[in-house]
Structure 1
């Protein structure tokens, strides 16, 4: 059976050195910053930018993540699959 969105988010969190969550929730700014750092995305994370900025940086780094959509919305399941593959291969 395919992993759920919550399971995929947790897999990504663990791959970038964050922690699993017991409940399903979107990525925090800190988790997005950790993903950006893991992908060597071109975003300054010393002072955390807005989530949309970090989502756009992730979209630039990961093939399969739609960079043209509204960056204010959460990643779709197929995009989470692509991000999981990208952070797990590091």
Structure 2
């Protein structure tokens, strides 16, 4: 059964200890920081980096990119990327 983008986001949120959301929404900075922690992408403590940097780091750590350059990483996660992230978190 194919999962929707919302279902994948919620699976990822739950895997990193965040709460499920009923409405369709992108990840908050806090949720992205929790995902970074779960995939061992280190971010500085204190002020959170931009969302683009955290998304690039997550993509890099789950094998979707060769680096964590936010300028070439693209915007919000696409469905195939969410599937890869969810799979990586299931195996953590």
Normalising TM by the smaller chain, what interval? 0.7 to 0.9
Aligned alpha-carbon RMSD (Å): 2.0
Matches within 5 A, 1:18-37: 18-37=18-37
TM-score by length of 2: 0.86
**How many positions carry a matched residue from both structures?**
90
Matches within 5 A, 1:5-84: 5-64=5-64, 70-71=72-73, 73-84=75-86
Give secondary structure in 1 for the equivalent of 2:2: coil
1:65–1:79 contact (8 Å) kept in structure 2? no
Structure 1 unmatched runs, 5+: none
Structure 2 unmatched runs, 5+: none
1:34-71 CA-to-partner distances (Å, cap 9, x unmatched) read: 00000111322432111001011111101236867754
Give secondary structure in 1 for the equivalent of 2:49: coil
1:65–1:82 contact (8 Å) kept in structure 2? no
1:10–1:21 contact (8 Å) kept in structure 2? yes
**Counterparts of 1:73 and 1:21, CA distance in 2:** 21
